Structure formats: structure tokens, C-alpha cells
Chains A and B, each alone.
Chain A
Amino acid sequence: DTAVSQTPKYLVTQMGNDKSIKCEQNLGHDTMYWYKQDSKKFLKIMFSYNNKELIINETVPNRFSPKSPDKAHLNLHINSLELGDSAVYFCASSGGRELFFGEGSRLTVL
């Protein structure tokens, strides 16, 4: 009964392809996030949603499109993948100030 679960855990794809990562939380939280962790382990927020509404968009290229069908799910779709998109993408949720993270989805773009 994982609190924040992401799929897939690993994703290897070619440049120019489109891919999606799914995230679900069973904590009853209203807010969900996507963070990107680069090869140097630096963590940067990409988006946050509160009850299906976009709250934070940190100047992420519009090739990245988050979608929240309900407050328990936040998916990330990436169009026209580039080499620089290779990273680990973490989903997180929050009911207050503390974030609960998923295990991450490692995306490798060849």
C-alpha cells in the first residue's frame, strides 16, 4: 500500500518521442507535485497542483504537460523528448508543508 506510487520506474526512449509518467497518491492529500532531479542530484520543482488546479509552473518548457484527472492523480506527459530531459522525475504529495515522495521514474533519452 505505497503512499505515492509512480509508473514506470524506468523509461528508456529515443529523442523526439513522446512519453508519460503516471503518479497516484492514497494519502488523501490535496496538493501534488512534480520535481526533476538531474545527474548532480539537484532537485527542482516543476509543477504543483492543488485539487486538480495548476498552482506552480516553474518556467518548464511547454513540451511538458501535467494533467490531474482527480486530486489523487498527477500525470506528466513529455513531447518531443530531448537529451537534456534525461533525469529522475519525482512525484510528491502534501497535506500541509511536508512532502511525501514517490520512488522516482528514471528517464533516459538516447
Chain B
Amino acid sequence: RKEVEQDPGPFNVPEGATVAFNCTYSNSASQSFFWYRQDCRKEPKLLMSVYSSGNEDGRFTAQLNRASQYISLLIRDSKLSDSATYLCVVNMNYGGSQGNLIFGKGTKLSVKP
């Protein structure tokens, strides 16, 4: 059973499009949620944390539904520079755990001119 599942992608969209990524996680004890971005052959970089109330950072909006164990990321007005793989990440961070990050496989986004 996969712990974090994402849309397989790839998503090919024109500049200016709105694109949405979805993610589900299997462990209801998960405590923290993130979207990371990974460029080809580079390290993951934090894009944004995801809070229960939903949060927005410029063109990016993240939502969390704990009841459905579902996380989403919306990118508005996509730019060429948004082309990357988007990783859904959860953190257990409970009890004695140091809270290792559990990654989804990622969804590749390609924004075309």
C-alpha cells in the first residue's frame, strides 16, 4: 500500500494556465504536510507547507482535507519557470519519531510557451 500517492502526470500546459495537483496519503497519523519542488537531477526544495485552513503564497494555493487524507496544490498563471516535478510530502512527527519525510513519487509539470 503506497503511503503517498500522486497524479502520475506529466502535465503539459501552456503559459498562463491554471494547473492542479492532487495527492492522497494513507496514514491518518500524519502530522505535517508539504509540497516540494524538484528540478531535474537536483535536490528537493520546499515550495510550501500545507495547513488545515488552506494557505496561499502568490500564485500557489495549497489545501488539506484531513478527513479524506487529501492534499492539493493549485498553480495559477503558470510560468515557464514552474516546469519541475512537484512532490507531495508528509511527516509523521509523532511520539519518538524525528519525523522523517515520506515523499510521493511526484508529478512532472511542463509549461510550454
Partners in one complex: no
